[in-house]
Amino acid sequence: MKEKKRRPGSLGIIGETAAKLLFHEKGWNPFTHFIDEDKVDLILRRSRGNKPEYREIQVKYRRLYDNRPSRWARKLFLETIKYDVKADEFKNRRKNFFVLFVFGYPQQAIEKDVLLFPSKDLHQIIKKTYGTKAKVLYISKALDGKRWLALRKRRKFHQINHKTCQDVSRYLNNFKILG
């Protein structure tokens, strides 16, 4: 069973299924996008009056890793995700395109908390974090368990401030940004 869970396709399906349930709870009808040419995993639809509204979602399922191996990190953070990224991956995305991070643990269930970013905001976070040489984005949950932070530095640091991290807590379970 462990081997089946580790296959990349399985993790993507798990993340997308969790995302569908979350969006349904928030009043949206999620549809799976069959061909992923434009990086859209789900299309959300709802009616406002007599007009339909649509949002496009890219789902990123990422495992949350605790920070035990790293002494300096465990003094500041509970868990961390790693996301391999291209610097301009979200640069020219449409207004109604969003990126949802669904988190899971290596041996446990899916985390209820998710991060939902408008693609243009995520692009700015990546740009501020790494400039044009982005390769990996690290997002960590602060030791207080309330704040989520995009790390601007990956090397050892001893305090959370605007030079070391960017607070992304406002994207935590923020389904209101869908409009």
CA 71, 139, 142, 6 dihedral sign is negative
Instruction: Name the average pLDDT for the chain.
Output: 81
The pTM score is 0.80
Q: Specify the number of domains making up the chain.
A: 1
Q: What is the pLDDT of residue 1?
A: 43
Number of H helices, E strands in the chain: 4, 10
Q: What is the pLDDT of residue 22?
A: 82
Residue 85, domain extent: 2-178
Q: What is the pLDDT of residues 96-131, one digit of tens each?
A: 999 999 887 766 666 678 999 999 999 988 888 766
Say which residue the tokens 């465990």 belong to.
Answer: 74
Q: What is the pLDDT of residues 142-175, one digit of tens each?
A: 988 889 999 887 778 888 888 889 999 999 999 9
Say which residue the tokens 């969790």 belong to.
Answer: 18
Q: What is the pLDDT of residues 22-74, one digit of tens each?
A: 888 888 877 776 666 677 888 888 888 889 999 999 988 888 777 655 778 88
Q: Which two tokens stand for residue 177?
A: 């940004």
pLDDT at 93 exceeding the cut of 50: yes
Q: What is the pLDDT of residues 168-177, one digit of tens each?
A: 999 999 999 9
CATH number of 58's domain: 3.40.1350.10
Return phi, psi of residue 52, to 5°: -80, 145
